[in-house]
Amino acid sequence: MLFIKALILIALFAIFLQDIRDREVYWILFPFVALLAGTIFFYNTTFDHFLISITLNLLLITSILCVIFLYIKLKMRTSIDQSLGLGDVLSLYALCFTFSTVSFIIIFVIGLFLSLLMHLILQKSSKYETVPLAGNLSLIFGLSYLAYFANLTPYNFSI
């Protein structure tokens, strides 16, 4: 299990570095992260809790993406690929396999907020206008995993 924990931290950090540096991420990292995260989650919870949490997380992300797609099409009147990258979508679905639903929502919202904050602070020094959402969320989820693995989280923070 230690090997799997190390691999997921490395994969999340690789996504972060690639997205920050080039705004491109190797697509194979997303199913790899989903598989590793699902494995860790599966071994730390009951089968029923695993299935319910994954299903709710997937429904939540799908609902959010549907609203985003509708907003982009109807309000912004631009194409989806100009506003939201495929890597961002793949990362959101990969991260659905990380934590139970309540923990996932908390980390996801904090990750979105910190991603916006980092973008606003670093936007003048960046050569890109886009937000590296996949990379920023990978960093936040990686730090959450690191805190969980090191037993630095409160008891109500469950995987």
Domain range annotation of the chain: 2-148
Band of pLDDT at residue 69, cut at 50, 70 and 90 = very high
Whether 144 has a pLDDT exceeding 80, the answer reads yes
Provide the pLDDT for residue 79. 81
Cα–Cα dist 144/107, whole Å? 8
Tens of pLDDT along 17-30? 999 999 999 999 99
Band of pLDDT at residue 80, cut at 50, 70 and 90 = confident
Q: Which residue has the higher pLDDT, 122 or 90?
A: 90
Write the CB contacts of 59 (distance below 8 Å, at least 6 apart in sequence): none
Provide the pLDDT for residue 78. 84
Cα–Cα dist 137/16, whole Å? 8
- For the ranges 22-26, 98-102, 118-122, 150-154, the lowest mean pLDDT is seen at 150-154
Cα–Cα dist 7/1, whole Å? 10
Tens of pLDDT along 57-67? 999 999 999 99
Provide the pLDDT for residue 159. 63
* CA distances from residue 109 to 49, 50, 124 in whole angstroms, order as listed: 22, 21, 24
The closest alpha carbon to 14, from 24, 1, 3, 2, belongs to: 24
Tens of pLDDT along 116-132? 999 999 888 888 888 89
Q: Cβ(24)–Cβ(87) under 8 Å?
A: yes
Q: Cα dihedral angle (90, 59, 111, 140), rounded to 10 degrees?
A: -60
